[in-house]
Amino acid sequence: MQAEARQEASGAMRKLRIFLDAIKFEHTIFALPFAYMGMVLAARASHGWPGLDKLIWITLAMAGARTLAMALNRLIDASLDALNPRTANRALPKKQLRPVEMVGFSLAAGALLAVSAWQLNPLCFKLAPVALLFLVGYSYTKRYTWLCHLALGLTDGIAPIGGWLAINPTISVANLLPPALLGLAVTAWVGGFDLIYACQDIDFDRAHGLHSIPARFGAARALQISEMAHGASVGLLAAVGGVLHLAWPFWIAVGVAAWLLIWEHRLVKPDDFSQLDLAFFNMNGYIAVSVFAFSLFAVLVA
In a domain, 129, yes or no: yes
pTM: 0.93
Count how many domains the chain has. 1
Phi and psi torsions of 106, nearest 5°: -65, -45
Along the 302 residues of the chain, how does pLDDT read in single tens digits? 566 656 666 667 888 899 888 988 887 877 899 999 999 999 987 767 778 999 999 999 999 999 999 999 999 999 999 999 999 999 999 999 999 999 999 999 999 999 999 999 999 999 999 999 999 999 999 999 999 999 999 999 999 999 999 999 988 888 899 999 999 999 999 999 999 999 999 999 999 999 999 999 999 999 999 999 999 999 999 999 999 999 999 999 999 999 999 999 998 888 888 887 766 777 888 899 999 999 999 998 87
Residue 220 counted as domain residue: yes
Domain assignment present for residue 268? The answer is yes
Whole-number pLDDT of residue 1: 58
How far is Cα 81 from Cα 92, in angstroms, rounded to an integer? Answer: 8
Q: Is there a domain that residue 37 lies in?
A: yes
3-state class (DSSP) for residue 275: coil
Q: Indicate whether 150 belongs to any domain.
A: yes
Distance CA 187, CA 29 (A): 15
Helices then strands, counting H and E runs in the chain, come out as 14, 0
169 in Cβ contact with 218 (< 8 Å): no
Q: Which residues of 268-283 are buried (b: 16+ CB within 10 A; e: fewer)?
A: beeeebeeeeebbbeb
Q: What's residue 95's pLDDT?
A: 93
> What does the pLDDT look like over 248-281, one tens digit per residue?
999 999 999 999 999 999 988 888 888 877 667 7
- Please indicate, yes or no, if residue 2 is contained in any of the structural domains: no
Does residue 15 lie in a domain region? yes
Cβ of 242: how many Cβ atoms within 10 Å?
A: 12
The candidate with the shortest Cα–Cα distance to 226, out of 268, 254, 286, is: 268
What is the domain-level CATH number for residue 205?
Answer: 1.10.357.140
Q: Do the beta carbons of residue 82 and residue 208 sit within 8 Å?
A: no
Q: Is 1 domain-assigned?
A: no
* Residue range of the domain that includes 73: 7-301
**124-161: burial string, b at 16+ Cβ within 10 Å, e else:** beebbeebbebbbebbebbeeebebbbbbbbbbbbbbb
